Amino acid sequence: MTRENLTKFAWLAIFAAVVTIALKTAAYFLTGSIGLLSDALESLINLAAAIVALLLLKTAVAPPDDEHAYGHDKAEYFSGAIEGTLILIAAVAIGWAAIQKLFAPQPLEQIGVGLLITAIATVINLVVGQILIRKGREHHSVTLEADGKHLMTDVWTSVGVGVAIFAVSVTGWLVLDPIIALVVAANIKRTGFYLLKRSSQGLMDVAVSDDEQKSIRHILDGYVKDENIEYHAFRTRQSGIRKFVAVHILVPGAWTVHQGHQLLDRIEADIRRAVPNTVIFTHLESLDDPASWRDIELDRFGD
């Protein structure tokens, strides 16, 4: 699947948000539950987040240009940060509405119908959320994964609200409705903070996963053993779906440029096969030149 095709999943998230907003709003008007109102509020924020995700995903798949020679993949991290912020805003809004109802609880109506409508909306969010998370991880799309996690917070909100409404119908304790809403608000804040942390790590050029680094080093170590070479200054970073690898390859000084270039081509091809979507920068150096062994640090001040 190409990166451009991932936008169809953002459209799926928008569709799910529109449908669940309609369902949850209807459930609120039928029951008068503050929990369902808070649930509908979160779905409204889901819609805004899905639209942002679509726009930034379109930006992320744009090809490199003169001003962005390394592509636009980092746009996805902005989407994750925005979604995390929106989740926190939703948590605050839910908490505020719940506190107001905590001191002035009101009786609920047509509870059975409200629960049925909420269950339908919850199933929609559950299915779509899992699809987005799976596709996001499969294609290293922070945007889709964040959108999926956002929908999963909505699922937990709906489950909590449903439990509260059922408990109210059984016990008659109206105060349970806002109390459960407060618990749900506190829970979904964790997802918001997780997305903010994940996005900040991406913007700070976090390294690729440990497993991917091990795969790359395994390839390099194989060449060290078979070709009598060395390597150093090995660095990686993740930018959305794209990974960047930089490494210095040290070969015998008697080698020709042609020999060294052929070796680098083989190494780069092997790494790309082992770790897809990887851009590799190799630097050829001589094993016999003392200067090669000082060329390790990222910043070579004073050279």
Which residue in 151, 157, 156 sits closest to 129, CA to CA? 151
Rounded to an integer, the average pLDDT of 225-244 is 87
Using pLDDT thresholds of 50, 70 and 90, give the confidence band for residue 158: confident
Rounded to an integer, the average pLDDT of 143-155 is 80
Helix then strand then coil, % of the chain, to nearest 5: 70, 10, 20
* Residues sharing a CB contact under 8 Å with residue 215, sequence separation 6 or more, in sequence order: 274, 275
Collapsing DSSP states into helix, strand and coil, what is residue 243? strand
CATH superfamily of this structure's domain 3-203: Cation efflux protein transmembrane domain (1.20.1510.10)
With 0.75 as the threshold, say if the pTM is over it: no
The pair of structure tokens assigned to 97 is 């509405």
* Residues sharing a CB contact under 8 Å with residue 53, sequence separation 6 or more, in sequence order: 10, 13, 79, 83, 143, 144, 146, 147
pLDDT at 302 over 60: no
- The 10s digit of each residue's pLDDT in 9-43 is 888 888 888 998 888 888 878 777 766 776 777 67
Rounded to an integer, the average pLDDT of 236-257 is 89
Please give the CATH topology (third level) of the domain spanning 210-294: Alpha-Beta Plaits (3.30.70)
Considering only residues 212 and 161, tell me which one the structure prediction assigns the higher pLDDT: 212
Collapsing DSSP states into helix, strand and coil, what is residue 237? strand
- The 10s digit of each residue's pLDDT in 77-94 is 776 677 778 778 877 877
Which of 145-159, 268-282, 289-303 is predicted with the least confidence, judged by mean pLDDT? 289-303
- Domain spans of the chain? 3-203, 210-294
pLDDT at 112 over 60: yes
Collapsing DSSP states into helix, strand and coil, what is residue 236? strand
Considering only residues 54 and 122, tell me which one the structure prediction assigns the higher pLDDT: 122
In this prediction, residue 90 carries a pLDDT of: 76
In this prediction, residue 262 carries a pLDDT of: 95
Using pLDDT thresholds of 50, 70 and 90, give the confidence band for residue 1: very low
In this prediction, residue 263 carries a pLDDT of: 96
pLDDT at 248 over 90: yes
Rounded to an integer, the average pLDDT of 138-160 is 78
pLDDT at 107 over 70: no
* Residues sharing a CB contact under 8 Å with residue 18, sequence separation 6 or more, in sequence order: 47
The pair of structure tokens assigned to 43 is 């779905």
The pair of structure tokens assigned to 98 is 């719940």
Which of 123-132, 206-215, 277-286, 290-299 is predicted with the least confidence, judged by mean pLDDT? 290-299
In this prediction, residue 259 carries a pLDDT of: 94
pLDDT at 63 over 50: yes
Per-residue b/e over 162-183, b at no fewer than 16 CB within 10 Å?
Answer: bbbbeebeeeeebebbbbbbbe
In this prediction, residue 4 carries a pLDDT of: 52
Rounded to an integer, the average pLDDT of 156-162 is 78
- The 10s digit of each residue's pLDDT in 195-215 is 787 777 767 778 888 999 999
β-bridge partners, 232: 248
Q: What is the overall mean pLDDT for the chain?
A: 81
